[in-house]
Structure 1
Amino acid sequence: MLIRAALAMLLLLAAAAWAQPQQAAFDLVVRAPGPLRELLERNLELRRYRDVSDLDDAEIARLIVLADKDARELLATQGYFAPQVSIARESGPRTRLVVDVQPGERTRVRGVDIAFEGDIATSTDTDALAQRQTIVGGWELPVGRPFAQAPWDQAKAVATRQLLARRYPAGRISYSLADVDAATASAQLGLRLDSGALFRLGPVRVTGVERYDPLLVPRLARLPEGSIYDQEKIVQAQIRLAGSGYFDSAFIFVDPQSDPLAAPVQVTVREAPLQKVVLGLGFSTDGGPRASVEHTHNRLPVIGWRAVTKLQAEQKNPYLQTEWIAIPDASGWRWSVLARGERLDDDRLVTHSQRLRMGRFQNGDRIDRNMYVQYERATVDNPRNVQLTPLDTGTGSAITGNYLWTGRYFDDLRLPTSGYGVGLELGGGLTLGNVRQPFQRTVVRWLGFRPLASGRLQLRAEAGAVLARRNATIPATQLFRTGGDTTVRGYKFLDIGVPLPGGFIGPGRYLTVESLEWQRPILRGGRRTEFEHTLFVDAGAVADQIGDLRAKVGIGTGVRWRSPVGPVEGAIAYGVQARRFRLHFSAGFVF
């Protein structure tokens, strides 16, 4: 008991002593230009000893000597190699150490010498020459720029990443030197990059596949044996695998220590469930609120195809669709079969349509191709029972052969800021009414972004034509109408078409749509945010004769959020011919 009491007393005395306020040994004052003062105040070793209460004069004198060296080393990291540093000790109620700094002239880069070793130095391949030019031209610490340690390290890191990004995953820095002349406040920089050997991809080795066809991974990855190593293509392959619906995750690794003539491509995947159901809720100003249920079966029995079936309940455009898709072949082509039934209500006409399609498609890194044969049927009703003919409304059926080509040359396929995209649709077929008539359908689309000093311009254009005899009863699904959130803002969904008796709007055989939009970043505190302001002019026309095309114009403004999943935009637009304002909301980027 006595021992316990003694221990308790010792703990109480220790706690009381600890609770007593510590008397600081000295105050620290730094006198230097703003950014340098903050650097020294945060990083000087003297800060660690301010609150040590039992420092004697000899120890403080030793700290002053060490602080002079410490301050000079910190200033050197910012490019000041000949500063005047003085540290004075001032007496008073408490000792005060004053660090006075005159940084002098900041060192600037006098010259840069970037050299290469390995395959990149001797190769005459235009790709290797371009890579060398990219590294030299993109050097981030050029002549005349202030020299500091952090920018020097960053410039070397960027140059190394550019070397490793393509052809040379085993590349490294073999030599680097920053030769600083304090007397002239200048630095001569030297860097030598050793690329090592050119790497070509070897066989794809896959782990993690159990329930799906083993051929699926290499065909989705599209990293052919013998191709030159390209980090961007490997990243895109990972994205394709993870976004294919077959896998929850994918990781691809090429060992830089492996055989450069045939480096194995190790792919590790985690499979997604065989089946899944997705429930969705949404809203758009074109269609109003909607709910959907989608079922996916990733490997149907016997045939091994994927089946995706979706039911969407929406006031304007409910539909039921199922699409069955084969795994890609060695060249990336896939067979598909689609069946779809839908109802389209534009507040005037109600179109019931059915579609059955079979064909093949190929999705590439930049170019998509699609070829298919399609049967479709459209029945158009009007609630007011106005006398309209099938030629007016697009009631009819047809069988067609179609070819679609889309090229995307944007800097970013999710949130583009420059580049362009082109789409072409060619189709031809035969109407299946009492009188069978041939017809041909062509649609051309273009979307481009042009960077400006403040923001960018987005230009959009679309033109379509259906060529046939005047009495051909072509289904409404093959004809054109426009207007709405993603076409001509300021007008209702599909509000631009061919005027019909009773105030109805019917589909037409010719279409033109144009749009010019100025997208400017919204700044906060002088910095760009993820929000943009838009000003736009849209125009569109639909007619049965080219000479009858009369553009309907919408002008407006909006705010766009560059969200992680794509652009989300809200806009208000005035329809010049409609003489009314409309709100529009849209999400995502699709071309």
Structure 2
Amino acid sequence: MPSKQYSAYLAALLAALLLPGCAVFRGDAAAQPAQRDETTRRGPADMPPADPAFDIRVEVADDDLRALVERHNELQRYRAVADLEESELARLLVLAERDVRNLLGTEGYFSPDVKLRREAASAGARPVIVIAIAPGEATTVRKVDIAFEGDIAATADAGARAQRTGIVDGWRLPEGRRFTQDRWSGAKTDALRQLVERRYPRGQVGYSVADVDAPQAQAALTVRLDSGPPFFLGPSVVRGAERYPDWLPERLSWLAPGDVYDQKKLVEAQQRLAGSGYYDSAYISIDPEGDPAATPVTYAVTEARRHKLQLGLGYSTDGGPRVSLEHRDNTVFGTSWRAETKLNLDQKAPLLQTELTSLPDAEGWRKAVFARHMRQDDGSLVTTSQTVKVGLAKLTERYDRNFYLQYDHASVTGAASVDAPAALVGDGAAVSANYSWTGRYFDTLPTPTRGFGVQADVGAGMTLLGERKPFARLNGRALGLLPVGDGGSRLAMRGELGAILAPDSARLPGTYLFRTGGDTTVRGYAYRSIGIPLGANPSGGDWIGPGRYLAVGSVEWQRPILQDRFPGLLEHTLFIDVGGVANRIGDLRPHWGMGTGVRLISPVGPMELSVAYGLKSKQFRLHMTVGFVF
């Protein structure tokens, strides 16, 4: 072999050894796409040689195809070989044509016209290899056949049937869409994810094929999903429990033996444990090789410290600047009870409160004792109140229940300046028995986009100041989120009704009565400024007292904005609020407010800044809220 030709082959061999994935050793490019991905991430195609032996020009109308071929064609790997023989270059051009065809096939072009030629170099210039491409017609999906094997194919369980339907309806590469290798792989991966995330952790793709008819530019897709057996949760195994009982993670997780395996619920349970205050972190897993009828659930937890002290600074348009100090003791007085104490200092409603709660029992019920001292400055009357509650509470994924006895005493400063009975200003005391129920049926928290929530409170009791009188208190509220169109817009509709049924002379404490207005009720009005007019205030306006009947409603349009620059981050709102308070139903009068705002979608929930105009107050007001609470 002539020395010059031997040098060319030696250079090509060295290039193949030094450049991972070179075609000399790799074989057909289309047969090993995973190797292609690896080499393109770390190969010299991303780092052209300082003085390449030739240039490459790709001629094709589609910019995306041009970028694909420019980046991944095999000729890029030989630009470092400066002394290629003409015969070797001709061989490489033949291999490169096949490689380009394989590249185009990954984008759904299986009958392209690909021609490579070498343009003669002018004096002092490098030769140019031209890759001319006419891609032809893109292949589209003609038929999709998704079938199931295993339990999911035979079971009569309604949940499994719904899961099967969801996989078929959610298939990401439907008939009529352009076929690409990425879309085909992604559709299979997504279908498998939907299979294994609930009931069937052993699910797998049993068989798949994309049958491409290149002359007709059509593809028939076939996928067989094998579910394996359904899995149900079994006994719990806890690791890392020292300070708190080892049975606590299971009770706080709301997972129970016999539940259907659901990956989403396990993740939510992890978040619930991490947010419980008893654990800094938690990881919940099952053994996919365990007994499907009762697979053990492993809780790996890192326990939180016994004490936590937190200082907070904040601001709200209702209460102004705020300083808060919170302390938590998870084993107060050496018991299993928790004590949470909070000191909140702001202009409108400073308070000091503490709550003692037990650990949940086997049925999920907690015992609780709550005490609060609060001062509410409504701008006209100042109400100082003391509240004590003793009861039982149960929190679940969808609903909360509370039974409790409550004592309230309220003293109203400034009442002497008002020509009205004490019963009308909220100066009184009472004891009552109460039941509260809250149901949450939203798609996700803390930033729901659809669903609804309902809360109902019922109480009955006796006043304690003056002549003792019986009374009943009813309060209910609801929130519904209704998607509108396909752009992510929705309507948020909320309402609240409240009523006190008692004799006119009953001296009910102001904490039982109703006032409204502010950031989360009727925007366009000051905090708790909508109530019962009690006469002229010498400093301007009217004295405002609480009332026995409440009605509040709101309709808000929420739509995403600037999604190209900030996807899923910003929303614009338009809203109309209305509310009224009265001592008789027939005296209820609407207070309308309307405005607009911007919502920032954050990990802790939506943060909204809005401006509203009150039709009765004839004022514009700025309102700010943080988080989602229902």
Q: 2:484 aligned with 1:459, yes or no? A: no
Q: CA deviation at 1:164?
A: 0.7
Q: CA deviation at 1:566?
A: 0.9
SS of match in other structure, 1:133: helix
Q: Is residue 158 of structure 2 the alignment partner of residue 130 of structure 1?
A: no
Match of 2:468 in 1: 436
Distance 2:305 2:50 in 1: 63
Task: Kindly indicate whether the alpha-carbon contact (under 8 Å) linking 2:73 and 2:100 is maintained by their aligned counterparts in 1.
Answer: yes
Shift of 1:525: 4.5
Contact 1:335-1:361 at 8 Å conserved across structures? yes
1:190-201, aligned counterparts within 5 Å? Answer: 190-201=222-233
Percent of aligned pairs with the same residue?
A: 54
Residue 55 of structure 1 deviates from its aligned partner by 3.0
Q: What is the aligned partner in structure 2 of residue 327 from structure 1? A: 359
Corresponding position of 1:266: 298
From 490, 509, 515, the equivalent of 1:481 is 515
Asked if 1:559 corresponds to 2:591, the answer is: no
- In the TM superposition, what whole-angstrom CA distance separates every residue of 1:522-558 from its partner, at most 9, and x where no partner exists? 1254874511111111110000000100010111111
Indicate if the aligned counterparts of 2:514 and 2:547 stay in contact, CA closer than 8 A. yes
Aligned residue type for 2:532: V
**Aligned mates of 1:23, 1:313 — CA distance in 2:** 71
1:372 is matched with 404
> Is the CA contact 1:26–1:97 (under 8 Å) kept in the aligned structure 2?
yes
Counterpart residue number, 2:191: 159
1:18 aligned residue: none
Answer yes or no: is the 8 Å Cα contact 1:348–1:383 preserved in 2: no
Shift of 1:388: 3.8
Residue of structure 2 in register with 1:9 after alignment = none
1:316 to 323, 345, 348: 348
1:588 lines up with 2:616 in the alignment: no
Name the amino acid aligned to 1:470: D
Give the distance between the partners of 2:254 and 2:447, measured in 1 at CA: 24
2:76 aligned partner:
47
In structure 2, what is the Cα distance between the partners aligned to 1:376 and 1:294?
23
Superposed CA offset, 1:139-159 (max 9, x none): 111121111111111111111
CA contact (8 A) 2:108 2:179 kept: yes
How much has 1:44 moved relative to structure 2?
1.3
Greater Cα offset, 277-286 or 166-175: 166-175
Distance between the aligned counterparts of 1:253 and 1:148, measured in 2? 35
Is residue 495 from structure 1 mapped to residue 526 from structure 2 by the alignment? no
Who is 2:59 aligned against?
31
Paired residue for 2:18?
none
Residue 28 of structure 1 contacts residue 50 of structure 1 at CA under 8 Å; is this kept in 2?
no
Q: Secondary structure at the match of 2:269?
A: helix
The correspondence for 1:425, drawn from 457, 471, 493, is: 457
Q: What whole-Å deviation, never above 9, does each CA across 1:328-369 have from its counterpart, x for those lacking one?
A: 111211111001001000111100000110111111111111
Mapped partners of 1:564, 1:526: distance in 2: 19
Q: Distance in 1 between matches of 2:415 and 2:230?
A: 70
Whichever residue aligns with residue 484 of structure 1, its letter is: G
**Residue 434 (structure 2) pairs with residue 402 (structure 1):** yes
| Number of residue equivalences | 571
Conservation of the 8 A alpha-carbon contact between 2:54 and 2:127: yes
Residues 22 and 53, structure 1, Cα contact 8 Å, conserved in 2: no
Aligned to 1:8: none
Is 1:361–2:393 an aligned residue pair?
Answer: yes
RMSD across aligned positions (CA): 1.5
Q: Choose 231-240 or 288-297, whichever is displaced more.
A: 231-240
Once the two structures are overlaid, the 10-residue window that deviates more, 124-133 or 473-482, is: 124-133
Q: For residues 206 and 22 of structure 1, what CA distance do their matches in structure 2 show?
A: 59
Q: What code does the residue aligned with 2:614 have? A: G
In structure 2, do the counterparts of structure 1 residues 320 and 527 end up closer, same or farther at CA, with 3 Å as the change threshold? closer
Question: Does structure 1 residue 578 correspond to structure 2 residue 607?
Answer: no
Question: Structure 1 residue 57: deviation in Å?
Answer: 2.4
Question: What one-letter code is carried by the residue in structure 2 that aligns with 1:88?
Answer: R
1:66-105 superposed matches below 5 A: 66-93=95-122, 94-105=126-137
Match of 2:327 among 295, 303, 319: 295
The answer on 1:517 being equivalent to 2:551 is no
Alpha carbons 2:385, 2:408 under 8 Å: kept: yes
Q: Distance in 1 between matches of 2:73 and 2:432?
A: 78
Paired AA for residue 306 in structure 1: R
CA contact (8 A) 2:563 2:569 kept: no
What secondary structure, in the 3-state scheme, does the structure 2 residue paired with 1:301 have?
helix
Q: CA deviation at 1:45?
A: 2.0
* Distance (whole Å) between structure 2 residues aligned to residue 399 and residue 51 of structure 1: 90
Relative to structure 1, the CA distance from residue 102 to residue 527 in structure 2 (aligned partners, 3 Å threshold; closer, same or farther) is farther
Gaps in structure 2 of 5+ consecutive residues: 1-48, 537-541
> Residue 94 of structure 2 is aligned with which of 54, 59, 65?
65
Note the C-alpha offset of 1:232.
Answer: 1.8
Corresponding residue of 1:6: none
Structure 1 residues 180-222: Cα deviation after superposition (integer angstroms, max 9, x where no partner):
1112111111111111111111100000110012221111122
Partners in 1 of 2:293 and 2:380 — Cα distance?
66
**Residues of 2 paired with 1:25 and 1:352: CA distance?**
87
| CA distance, structure 1, for counterparts of residue 132 and residue 617 of structure 2 | 72
Q: How far is 1:387 from its partner?
A: 4.2
Q: Tell me if structure 2 keeps the 8 A contact 1:429–1:439.
A: yes
CA distance in 2, matches of 1:434, 1:539: 35
Partner SS state of residue 432, structure 2: strand
Code of the residue aligned with 2:627 in structure 1: it is G
Instruction: Confirm or deny: 8 A CA contact 1:23 1:53 kept in the other structure.
Output: no
Conserved? CA contact 2:373–2:385, under 8 Å: yes
Contact 1:25/1:52 (<8 A) preserved: yes
What does 1:209-288 align with in structure 2 at a 5 Å threshold? 209-288=241-320
SS at 2:562 equivalent: strand
Contact 1:496 1:505 in 2 (8 A): yes
TM-score computed with the length of structure 1 as normaliser: 0.94
One-letter identity of the residue aligned with 1:571: S
- Match of 1:304, SS? coil
Residue 566 of structure 2 is aligned to residue 537 of structure 1: no
